[in-house]
Structure 1
């Protein structure tokens, strides 16, 4: 009996060999990962019309409509979903093949210094680091946890290779690529009076005291959370704060007040009954974590290899996949 999976991959291979330009396929992967033509163009360093033209050429080559546009937004068709899945597999294998066949990888030596905000919770990123170490076992890595403002300051002073940091707006001289997009929502802990209550509305939260990040102030990295509270008319006080996500979570659990946390990080806490999600149901705001480095800093071989490897990993994984533990294991 013929294996349908094998047939699908054989068919994809014939398309790629005979009819497709690899650049079109790569552009489509970025479009699907960003879900926005303008963001895809910025990531690829091309114009939006060039991205739109590449999409049309790919659809013409395949004879299928891949994306249904609705104003600035779009939804992939079933064919678009299938092409993305197959293309992701093929592109990922090609990227890994490039590294595994390079017999010079073990010769690359040196060290790099990576700065990071606390609690980068991504199984896919963990797998990337494991793959990187296997490919380049002689590269030494130092990771230091800092506040976002200190990371940006250090990068501007060229004292580190790169940083994984929040960055509210572009910083002159720093290259910036989104690694994670975290949806923040409001939670209370098991010891809070609102814990377990259903049918709550935003009005029920307005007078509650808040646990806050120390960076959650106007002009700093998490200021969208402050803007949200001000716009909704919260009157409660900030009664506890910390620069550490784990400590903010601990304070919320302990009942000091309600507070904002990335929803993908607290899934286990919700399942174990330690935290309770509060309105609004859709959450508050997306806060991005970026890979940042100084454009004018001279990189050694180890540093440049790390940046190139991480950018390739980001090209073949979507933002959603970087927060999904199941995707990392597949």
Structure 2
């Protein structure tokens, strides 16, 4: 069914005159007549009865007229909403962020909301491994996470920041005189580390294996402050990216750099094959503009 023909038909009935309808539509009267005949042909029933210059709706015409009004109004609303979406007057950004990362980008998130106040923002807190799965499944649009060194063709990435990861040990005489820790020195310590859905957990395990041992994992948690509390009880080790270390200094624990340091490389990732909503495109652009030296 031709939308244009429906529009001509509705305007004709509203104006109750071929002359007035042609003036409103900026077309000739024969054009309107042709459109009405085409519409009647597609429906298989007459829509109007004519008597000279007068006409009135058939029963089928009344049904088509009422439904056409609703349909055309819905189309107009759709176009208006799409235009709003294009201008980001509406939309939805689904952003994945690991628990440790969010506070670092609070100012950037606030700037995004100031620029696009009508965009609904949903923040989902997952570890890096779960974030990738959520992107693959379309649960989220884009994620701030720890970047892995190997290339992954499923994801595009934008590097943002890079920080060293430090060891957190008890404030005891055993550790006070040591400025820099080696991984070998931690071989017999209980490890309090992140759950396996965190990319950082995998990196820690790799570093230990490179040093010739498997870590003695005593506890796992997604909450870094809980891991620090376990260390504070008097033994063991956990690990924190540098931006979080200032939160635990002078709190019963010591922050120690590692000799073979790990880097907490943060950035954006998004699925290369999935549609990127306008709201997510705007977030990626904002992050890129905030780090002009970064490369996607």
In the TM superposition, 1:181-200 aligns within 5 A as 181-190=162-171, 194-198=174-178
**Partner residue of 2:76?**
none
**Partner residue of 1:296?**
273
| Alpha carbons 1:118, 1:244 under 8 Å: kept | yes
Name the CA shift for 1:234/1:274 in 2 (closer, same or farther; >3 Å): farther
Q: How well do the aligned residues superpose, as a CA RMSD in angstroms?
A: 3.1
- Alpha-carbon distance in 1 for matches of 2:244, 2:233: 17
In the TM superposition, 1:234-253 aligns within 5 A as 234=213, 237-253=216-232
- Alpha-carbon distance in 2 for matches of 1:180, 1:245: 20
In the TM superposition, 1:11-30 aligns within 5 A as none
* 1:158 Cα deviation from its structure 2 partner: 2.1
Aligned residues, how many? 209
**Partner residue of 2:292?**
315
Name the CA shift for 1:170/1:160 in 2 (closer, same or farther; >3 Å): same
* 1:316 Cα deviation from its structure 2 partner: 6.5
| Contiguous gaps of at least 5 residues in structure 1 | 1-103, 319-330
Q: Deviation digits for residues 148-175 of structure 1, max 9, x if unmatched?
A: 1111011112221111122433322211
Name the CA shift for 1:205/1:303 in 2 (closer, same or farther; >3 Å): closer
**Partner residue of 1:274?**
252
**Partner residue of 1:152?**
132
**Partner residue of 1:141?**
121
Q: Which moved more, 1:227-236 or 1:293-302?
A: 227-236
* 1:317 Cα deviation from its structure 2 partner: 8.3
| Alpha carbons 2:169, 2:238 under 8 Å: kept | yes
TM-score normalised according to structure 1 size: 0.55
| Alpha carbons 1:185, 1:260 under 8 Å: kept | yes
In the TM superposition, 1:213-232 aligns within 5 A as 213-215=194-196, 221-232=200-211
- Alpha-carbon distance in 1 for matches of 2:197, 2:134: 20
TM-score normalised according to structure 2 size: 0.60
Q: Deviation digits for residues 71-94 of structure 1, max 9, x if unmatched?
A: xxxxxxxxxxxxxxxxxxxxxxxx
- Alpha-carbon distance in 1 for matches of 2:233, 2:251: 13
* 1:204 Cα deviation from its structure 2 partner: 4.6
Q: Deviation digits for residues 85-111 of structure 1, max 9, x if unmatched?
A: xxxxxxxxxxxxxxxxxxx99862111
| Contiguous gaps of at least 5 residues in structure 2 | 1-84
Bigger radius of gyration: 2
- Alpha-carbon distance in 1 for matches of 2:211, 2:88: 57
Is the partner of 1:304 in helix, strand or coil?
Answer: helix
**Partner residue of 2:193?**
212
